[in-house]
Amino acid sequence: MSVRHALLALLTEGPEYGLRLRQEFESRTGDVWPLNVGQVYTTLQRLEREGWVESDDAGSDGAKKRYRITDGGATELDRWLRTPPDATTPPRDELVIKVQVAVRMPGVDVHDLIQTHRRQLIEAMQHYTHLKADAPADDIGLALVVDAELFRLEGLVRWLDAAGVRLAKLPRAAAPRPGVPAPDPAQVRA
Amino acid sequence: MTTVLELRKVAKVYGSGPSAVHALHAADLRVDAGELVAVMGPSGSGKSTLLTIAGTLEEPSEGEVLIGGVGAAGLSANARAQLRRRSIGFVFQDFNLLPGLSATENVALPLELDGVGRRAAHAHAVRTLDDLGLADRAGHFPDDLSGGERQRVAIARAVVGDRQLLLADEPTGALDSMNGEAVMRILRAACKRGIAGVVVTHDAQLASWADRVIFIRDGRVVDETAPPSGPEVLLDKDLSR
């Protein structure tokens, strides 16, 4: 997630202090994505170096500075909004790697491993769903962020379900043998 | 907390001899009043069998089913039917509303079958529909309602009266995600008001509305989620990058 661009977007509403930007960011994402103060100021300094924001008083420390977006910053924000997220290179998903490795390890019950991960993912999903269920109906920031997390986690659960079915159907002779390297998921193109 | 549903070592075998199918093996389940439990498993895992046995629609081959502390096995067929009408509400994926009856008439039907007078049953049905945000749809027939509205009417029919137990089989399976969410909000709210709910599903999003998720595989309960723990920790650093 781009904190830089989220801060630029907040600054389109008018000049703001760093601390206030942090509060706004957290409240608009339903407090689901916490930001630490240091991260905010480091990001603002970087944006200032890029010429995308400017501050009132270059001499004072971060807390006393009020930042505003520049024309260059507005152009960059527009470019970022319209650029598709990088969906071409699959991420090196840790869960995929764990299951890939386990399939080839003697003495590991891969179905048991899949169930352990399935349960933990469902527990995380319960947490988010209950957060959404208990939130005020107009908390759109929280609903959008929580939905995104739920769909992402659901995707992992569905992948585990499919992996379980594939492995159960695998004839013994075709089962992966120890020593045969698994394809690197990051090298597999969609 | 009062236990509403209890399954003790419930097994179900269809057929006999070498072709026998063991749909359930010694399944235990307890659901308290006010609790929503999801039973999650793939197709053919035995979850729908578990639900029909919990609802006394089928008898187990072994083990016991208790509804409100009363063993279903000791009841006559008539007494079991009465227990179902009074205490158990069912919600199915395809709604199962009667097309020739209005929303109100559909919801009032179980009360009328149980001997409640027509006027009182209808008044109760209208109140229940109103609780679920369907007051303006009370006179509509199922064909005039959207999928989400039909399922809400089906839920109203399942919770009307003094039902203790709500059993739902893939209740959001025919709905898009937002209508599915609306249905799960209603089911969750019904449970918060004191009904015990069991939802069977293969859908992780649906299961995540439950207080507790039971995992079933090849007819066996294999795992269960931990109860929610202490202060809410939202996302770890890896996820918030």
Domains, chain B, in order of start with CATH, read 3-224 (3.40.50.300)
Q: With contacts defined as CB-CB under 8 Å, which chain B residues touch A125?
A: 204-205, 207-208
Q: What is the pLDDT of residues B38-51, one digit of tens each?
A: 999 988 899 999 99
Q: Which of B178, B234, B240 should one mutate to test binding to chain A, selecting the residue with the greatest count of A CBs within 10 A? A: B234
Query: For residues B72 and B83, what is the distance between their CA atoms, to the nearest angstrom?
Result: 9
Q: Which of B217, B222, B226 sits opposite A123 (nearest CB)?
A: B226
Instruction: Tell whether A108 is covered by a domain.
Output: yes
The residue ranking higher by pLDDT, A31 or B219, is: B219
What is the DSSP secondary-structure string of B166-190? EEEESTTTTS-HHHHHHHHHHHHHH
Instruction: Tell whether A41 is covered by a domain.
Output: yes
Q: With contacts defined as CB-CB under 8 Å, which chain B residues touch A32?
A: 234-235
Instruction: Tell whether A58 is covered by a domain.
Output: yes
> Which residues make beta-bridge pairs with B200?
B39, B169
Q: What is the pLDDT of residues B55-69, one digit of tens each?
A: 999 999 999 999 999
Residues of chain A where predicted confidence (pLDDT) is lower than 70: 1, 57-63, 87-91, 171-190
Instruction: Tell whether A73 is covered by a domain.
Output: yes
A138 shares its domain with A70: no
Last residue of a domain, one of A82, A105, A126: A82
Query: For residues B193 and A178, what is the distance between their CA atoms, to the nearest angstrom?
Result: 54
Overall domain count for chain A: 2
Residue with tokens 């590991």: A108
Last residue of a domain, one of A19, A53, A82: A82
pLDDT of residue A189: 43
pLDDT of residue B176: 87
The residue ranking higher by pLDDT, A171 or B237, is: A171
pLDDT interval class at B231 (50, 70, 90): very low
A102 shares its domain with A66: no
Q: What is the pLDDT of residues B109-135, one digit of tens each?
A: 999 988 899 999 999 999 999 988 899
CB proximity list for B177: less than 8 A, separation 6 or greater = B205
Under 8 Å between Cβ of B200 and B38: yes
Instruction: Please compute Rg for chain A using Cα positions.
Output: 22
pLDDT beyond 60 at B236:
no
Q: What is the pLDDT of residues B177-213, one digit of tens each?
A: 888 898 899 899 889 989 999 999 999 999 999 999 9
> Which residues make beta-bridge pairs with B32?
B3
- Give the β-pairing of B220-224 and B62-67: unpaired
**The tokens of A158 are what?**
């569905």
A71 shares its domain with A49: yes
Residue with tokens 């070592």: B9
The chain A residue lying nearest B222, using CA atoms, is A115
Task: Give me the phi and psi of A124, to 5 degrees please.
Answer: -65, -40
Q: Which of B185, B234, B241 sits opposite A34 (nearest CB)?
A: B234
Query: For residues A138 and B87, what is the distance between their CA atoms, to the nearest angstrom?
Result: 36
- The model's pTM is 0.80
The residue ranking higher by pLDDT, B231 or A14, is: A14
Residue A86: strand, helix, or coil: coil
ipTM of this complex prediction, to 2 decimal places: 0.87
The DSSP H or E segment spanning B36 is: strand B36-40
Q: What is the pLDDT of residues B85-101, one digit of tens each?
A: 889 999 988 889 999 99
A68 shares its domain with A98: no
Q: Name the residue range of residue A179's domain.
A: 94-187
pLDDT of residue B233: 46
Q: With contacts defined as CB-CB under 8 Å, which chain B residues touch A86?
A: none
A113 shares its domain with A163: yes
Strand order through the sheet with B88-92: B88-92, B165-169, B196-201, B36-40, B212-217, B220-224
A175 shares its domain with A103: yes
Q: Which of A92, A121, A126 should one mutate to test binding to chain B, selecting the residue with the greatest count of B CBs within 10 A? A: A126
The C-alpha angle with vertex A185 and arms to A179 and A188, in degrees rounded to 5, equals: 110
* Per-residue buried b or exposed e for A39-73, using 16+ beta carbons within 10 Å of the residue's own CB: ebbebbeebbeeebbbbeeeeeebeebebebbeeb
Query: For residues A102 and A186, what is the distance between their CA atoms, to the nearest angstrom?
Result: 18
Mean pLDDT, range B207-233, rounded to an integer: 85
Query: For residues A118 and A50, what is the distance between their CA atoms, to the nearest angstrom?
Result: 43
Q: Do B225 and A119 touch (CB under 8 A)?
A: yes
pLDDT of residue B52: 95
Q: What is the pLDDT of residues B137-181, one digit of tens each?
A: 999 999 999 999 999 999 999 988 888 999 999 999 888 888 889
pLDDT of residue A29: 78
pLDDT above 90 as % of chain B: 71
A111 shares its domain with A66: no
pLDDT of residue B229: 59
pLDDT of residue A90: 66
Last residue of a domain, one of A82, A105, A131: A82
